[in-house]
Amino acid sequence: MKRIWFFIITGLLAFCAAGSRGTVSSLDRAMVSAVGIDTSDKGYKVTLQIFRPDSAGTDTQLDPAKANIFVVSEAAATVEEAMNRCEDRLGEFLFIGHNQLTVIGEGVELSRPEQLLASLYKSKESYLGARVAYSESAEKLLSAELSEGIVAAQSVVSIIERHCENSSSVSCDLLRAMDAGRDTVVMPLLRTVSSKGEETVSAEGAAMFTDGIHRCDLDAQECSAAALLTNECSRAVLDYETEDGLSSVTVKGLRCRRAIAEEGGRLSCRFTVEGEIQEDQSTPPAGERESLVGQCEDELEQRCSRLIGLIYEQEADPIELTELISSRFPGVWYGCGEDFAEALKLTDISVKAKISVREG
């Protein structure tokens, strides 16, 4: 009986040992926290921000007072090959599951994102919710020495989230970026800015891609309009003129109602933005509220009109018009060859703001 148990245990140990030969120890993994993609004379240049939780306080070239990360860059004909070169240079396997941010550099096309971003989404370890942003130079941004030390991905993600919450930018993740080849995709615009002698990162504004090409940038107000018209914005801080000068008020509960109708062979798309101002000590007297409401409505309509003008100019769709037209009027959509630019020629877009003051 003892011999039987001996052979069983020996066999199990041998099986486990054989199965573990292909595994990779966490000590042999390089944890990628951010990826930057730029163009280069070889094709692409990939910059990886590597997180090392055990680096602080050790006898290494890293400064323990700064973030526990370092940056490595390599160029090659494809992004995947450049990442492999980074892996060879590090002498460690890349762990992409920790990636929180992907930065697209100037000149990089997203017309075939399934090839460009294959290394970031094909692995079972990939995090498809990782933020995607645009910058003039991904390498420069990820390697920047900022006031708080080397810029860490988590810090930049937090900055992006704050701007998106304030509707001064537009959120984009890896899954959304995968649609850039066929849909309009808008992503945060990252810049390094100087303030009082120190450098930091700003995510105000956004870069708009159509057909995978970076067409133009949206400013903070145009981002706010895009968020309003897609119901991604529930509040806005607006300035208004009073007898004593400029003041500001917060409009809450913002929501957008969308309606589309066919009239005389054309489509009429109407957006109605509604919201309310909570009465408090900062609210002007009853006699001045009509002026306040009128100014707030004008400001919201002007922001949206600027964005709509850009939609016609760039033949882009940052407000999900394609879905509205194709679902409500499929005959018109298919008649245009499923081409948004052709459908846009038949569509009139208007925006009306309705703001009220809530008492109490």
Residue 329 belongs to domain with CATH number: 3.30.300.210
Q: Which of 218, 245, 270 is the last residue of a domain?
A: 218
Domain count, the chain: 2
Tokens coding 29: 């993994």
Say yes or no: 281 and 185 in one domain: no
Q: What is the pTM of this model?
A: 0.83
Place of tokens 């939609």: 311
Whether residues 65 and 207 fall in one domain: yes
8 A C-beta contact, residue 150 and residue 71: yes
At which residue do the structure tokens 């119901």 appear?
A: 231
Give domain status of residue 62, yes or no: yes
- The residue from 194, 218, 242 where one domain ends is 218
**Contacts of 217 by beta carbon, 8 Å cutoff, 6+ apart:** 189, 205, 206, 207, 208
Give first-to-last CA distance, the chain, whole Å: 84
Confidence (pLDDT) at 239: 86
Residue 82 CA to its chain's centroid (Å): 24
- b/e burial code for range 33-54 (CB count within 10 A of at least 16 → b): bbbbbbebeeebbbbbbbbbee
Domain residues for the domain of 337 are: 223-358
Q: At what angle do helices 286-314 and 220-229 cross, to 10 degrees?
A: 90
Do both 193 and 280 map to the same domain? Answer: no
Bridging pattern class, strands 266-278 and 245-263: antiparallel
Predicted confidence at residue 280, as pLDDT, reads 66
Amino acid at position 75, single letter? A
The verdict on 238 and 155 lying in the same domain is no
In a domain, 46, yes or no: yes
User: Are 201 and 68 part of one and the same domain?
Assistant: yes
Quick one: 321 and 269 in the same domain?
A: yes
236, 214: one domain: no
What is the per-residue pLDDT for 360? 58
Structural contact between residues 33 and 101, judged by C-beta atoms closer than 8 angstroms: yes
Domain assignment present for 208: yes
Residue 182 lies in a domain: yes
User: Residues 180, 153: contact at Cβ < 8 Å?
Assistant: no
DSSP code of 96? G
| Calpha distance 271→347 (Å, rounded) | 13
In a domain, 1, yes or no: no
Q: What sign results for the dihedral spanned by CA atoms 295, 235, 354, 314? A: positive
Q: Which of 203, 218, 233 is the last residue of a domain?
A: 218
Q: Exposed (0-12), middle (13-18) or buried (19+): which is 210, by Cβ within 10 Å?
A: buried
Regions of the chain with pLDDT less than 50: 2, 5-7, 13-15, 17-26, 55-62, 64-65
The answer to whether residues 348 and 265 touch, using CB atoms and an 8 Å cutoff, is no
Same-domain check for residues 202 and 123: yes
Geometric angle at alpha carbon 168, from 164 and 174, rounded to 5°: 40
193 and 308 share one domain: no
Say if 17 falls within a structural domain.
Answer: no
User: Which amino acid is located at 325 in the chain?
Assistant: I
Nearest to 224 by CA among 258, 176, 256: 256
Residue 11 lies in a domain: no
Partnered with residue 104 across adjacent β-strands are: 37, 134
DSSP 23-47: ---GGGEEEEEEEEEEEETTEEEEE
Residues 212 and 244 in one domain: no
The one-character DSSP state at 152 is: P
On whether residue 9 sits in a domain, the answer given is no
pLDDT tens digit sequence for 15-68: 454 444 344 444 567 889 999 999 999 999 999 998 876 544 444 444 544 557
- DSSP 8-state class, residue 325: H
What is residue 51's predicted lDDT score, i.e. its pLDDT? 81
User: What's the confidence (pLDDT) of residue 137?
Assistant: 94
Give the pLDDT score at 297: 94
User: Are 193 and 243 found together in one domain?
Assistant: no
211 with 230, same domain: the answer is: no
